[in-house]
Amino acid sequence: MSWALHPLTEEQTEVQKLAREFARAEITPHSAEWDEKAYFEPSLVPKLGELGFLGMMLPEEYDGLGTDTGTYLIALEEIAAADASVAVLMSVHNSLPTQMILRYGSEAQKDRFLKKMARGEILGAFALSEPDAGSDASALTTQAVKDGSCWVLNGTKSWVTNGNTAGAIIAMARTDHAGARRGARGIGAFIVTPDLPGFNVGKKEDKLGLRASPTVQLNFDNLRVPAENLLGDETQGFVYAMQSLDNGRLGIAAQAIGIARSALEHSVTYAAERKQFGKAIKEFEAIQFKLADMAMKVSGSRALLHAAAAAKDRGQSIRQFSSMAKLMASETAMWVTTQAVQIFGGYGYVKDYPVERLMRDAKVTEIYEGTSEIQRIVIARALYGQS
């Protein structure tokens, strides 16, 4: 099914083909089983790294591909259309830990981590949320105290994608002190590795969707992090995180579009095959209207996403537009997958067909990396010139 509203470059066409062939060969045959068993396939990480998909926006000097944002999103959509769990691994790794180290890290930090991350030797993760700090992430309470050549961290991080498999985790912790809190300006970002004393993986969440993507709590019990693992300024970690989430939301939008596109494609095929009242259900106007609206919403979401990506690559501020893209794409994914289940009827409600999994996977795109409500707040503030 052709979807491009503008011609792809030769590089984008090759990347899209490579991602699609990899997804069909390595992911699609296993996605239903991985979902059922909530199983993470570790061999995917080096395979994605070998193809360059874990360092797409890293410069070649760090073994990355150095692609533009749009090319990265094209690849990510292809992976998401096969399995959203694999796509979120790729999205988080590419948009948050690697980009934060690239943008704010020291040369020593870049040399230590980025090449291994690009090659898939180290998987990245991002630890911001806590049990009592979700949408209000600046209310986090994990504390970092300087002790000689180390920072000592105590606290619990929640909803950490790849948290039990990552080799480099960007964790936010308070560097200010009780009685002298500085809000968002009193938080540091630390590169945490699982070999450090005091690092513990806690509860693994049993989720509605994205079941093949591990989501865990991380417990820091007097976790001793070397001072050289502090990322940038010890007071600016939350600022770094918010700026990186602007980019991360583009990845979640691409994931949502991949989910929605897959649901649309399955629905088009099924409507041509399923017969009722003596003819294929695609001949009924009620089904035609659903398919038309599904296609419109998917294409519209993709157009907005790639416009935001182009603005990013031009160096424009994209906070408003990344929120728009993420909001529109995630709500499209939820709506389109719901319509797909309806088109499949009773078969859409059982696990013999893929659309019920797609609907479950779609829901979280309206929640993580900023809920739909938070995105609307960001967009509305931008209308009044507020950050």
68-96: pLDDT as tens digits: 999 999 999 999 999 999 999 999 999 99
Cα 342 to Cα 133, 170, 267, 285, distances in angstroms: 36, 41, 10, 14
Contact, 235 vs 187, CB < 8 A?
A: yes
pLDDT at position 303 is: 97
Q: How far apart are CA 152 and CA 224, in angstroms?
A: 5
Last residue of a domain, one of 235, 257, 281: 235
Query: Can you give the pLDDT at residue 182?
Result: 85
What contacts 227, CB < 8 A, 6 or more positions away? 146, 149, 150, 151
Instruction: Kindly state whether residues 108 and 133 are assigned to the same domain.
Output: no
Q: Is residue 83 part of a domain?
A: yes
For 149, the token pair is: 């050549």
Looking at the fold, whether 340 and 281 belong to one and the same domain comes out as yes
Query: What whole-number distance in Å separates Cα of residue 218 and Cα of residue 116?
Result: 23
| Residue 46 domain boundaries | 10-119
Q: Is 315 left (phi over 0), alpha (psi -120 to 50) or beta?
A: left
Same domain (yes/no): 262, 369: yes
End-to-end CA gap in the chain:
39
Pair 290, 365 in one domain = yes
Of 235, 270, 300, which one is at a domain's C-terminal end?
Answer: 235
Cα distance between residue 370 and residue 102, in whole Å: 23
Phi first, then psi: give them for residue 340, nearest 5 degrees. Answer: -65, -45
Quick: pLDDT tens for 188-202.
999 999 999 999 999
**Amino acid 206: pLDDT:** 97
pLDDT at 4: 62
- Whether residue 244 sits in one domain with residue 188: no
DSSP 8-state symbol, 9: P
Distance of CA 242 to the CA centre of its chain: 14
What count of other Cβ atoms lies within 10 Å of the Cβ of residue 201?
15
The tens digit of pLDDT for each residue in 114-149 reads: 999 999 999 999 999 999 998 998 899 999 999 999
Residues 223-239 pLDDT 10s: 999 999 999 999 999 99
Q: Which residues are catalytic?
A: 369
Three-class secondary structure of residue 135 per DSSP: coil
Residue 2 forms part of a structural domain: no
Q: Enumerate the β-bridge partners of residue 224.
A: 152
What was the pLDDT predicted at 184? 85
pLDDT at 2: 53
Q: Identify the domain boundary among 91, 119, 147.
A: 119
In sequence order, which ranges of 136-213 are alpha helices (DSSP H)?
none
Could you tell me if 251 and 363 lie in one domain?
yes
C-alpha 21/C-alpha 55 separation (Å) is 19
Contact 341, 356 (CB under 8 A): yes
Residue 376: count other Cβ atoms within 10 Å of its Cβ. Answer: 14
Are residues 286 and 333 both part of a single domain? Answer: yes
Within 13 A of 161's CA, how many CA atoms are on the CB side? Answer: 25
Angle at 16 between CA 288 and CA 372, to 5 degrees: 60
72 in the same domain as 142: no
pLDDT the model gives residue 10: 95
The answer to the question of residue 318 being in a domain is yes
Q: 223 has which bridge partners?
A: 153
Do 16 and 104 share a structural domain? yes
- Tell me the pTM: 0.96
* Domains in the chain, number: 3
Which DSSP symbol is given to 1? -
Tell me what pLDDT residue 42 has.
97
Judged by phi (left if over 0) then psi (alpha if -120 to 50, else beta), residue 159 lies in left
Which portions of the chain are predicted below pLDDT 70?
Answer: 1-5
CATH code of the domain in which 103 resides = 1.10.540.10
Do 220 and 251 reside in the same domain of the chain? no
DSSP designation for 106? -
